[in-house]
Amino acid sequence: MGLARGLERRLERLVDGLAARLFRGRVHPIELGSRLVREADLALFDTPGGPGAPNAFRVVLGGEPEEAPILTEVCRELARYVEDAAFDRGWRLEGPAQVEVAFVPGDRASDVQITAAVSPATRPSWARFESLTEGTATDIRVNRSVIGRSGVCDVHIPAEDVSRQHAVVWQEAGSMWIADIGSSNGTYVNGERTTGAATLVEGDRVAFGETEFTFRIAET
């Protein structure tokens, strides 16, 4: 199912068609979701792991305010749409996506203003590395997570054979990927040294130098 159709179906399931009433005479929620993603695309920035995007959006619509409960639900669905788009495009978000919708009485109903910003916050994990020797697990929370020995890495692995910035792991286009970023001892998937990006699936053995893990997908 496409991203836009998935958003449309979730909005359709909201009770009594309130989502449609909320945006009557204004921009349709599907179009608004697309505009949010376009704003994010225009504001992309470089990070050590790849392209980053803003995660906090404020939408200003013309007209009178609408029902608060349904507005909250629509904002939640729009934020989920941004999250899905970020994973589909391989973008890094520094915190969970947030969408706020405000109204300006007297303005034309068709007027839409969107501002985007970066709002760092802890993200839920989408995968983890389980150590094959120590019985511990390290969460992967941020898309485009940098893995390395440095304490500032998103995935911190304090082992001598792991470079300060060793590899990057991410989701994009429905798949999960890992790539070495110039480490000294290499990155391996199921015993094969990676050259460029390699796909990951549940249960793969991943090694950074000689430090080995099992790749696990987080339950949702």
Q: How would you write the pLDDT of the chain (220 residues) with one tens digit per residue? A: 566 566 666 656 554 455 555 566 566 777 788 899 999 999 999 999 999 999 999 998 876 666 666 788 888 888 998 999 999 999 999 999 999 988 877 655 557 889 999 999 999 999 999 998 887 899 999 999 999 999 999 999 999 999 999 999 999 999 999 999 999 999 999 999 999 999 999 999 999 999 999 999 998 6
Q: Which two tokens stand for residue 65?
A: 């305010």
**C-beta neighbour count of 53 within 10 angstroms:** 26
Q: Which two tokens stand for residue 216?
A: 């696990």
User: CA-to-CA distance for 150 and 166, rounded, in angstroms?
Assistant: 9
- Measuring CA to CA, which residue among 135, 139, 143, 113 is closest to residue 127? 139
DSSP run (H or E) holding 176: strand 175-180
Q: Model pTM?
A: 0.88
Q: Which residue has the tokens 């460029």?
A: 196
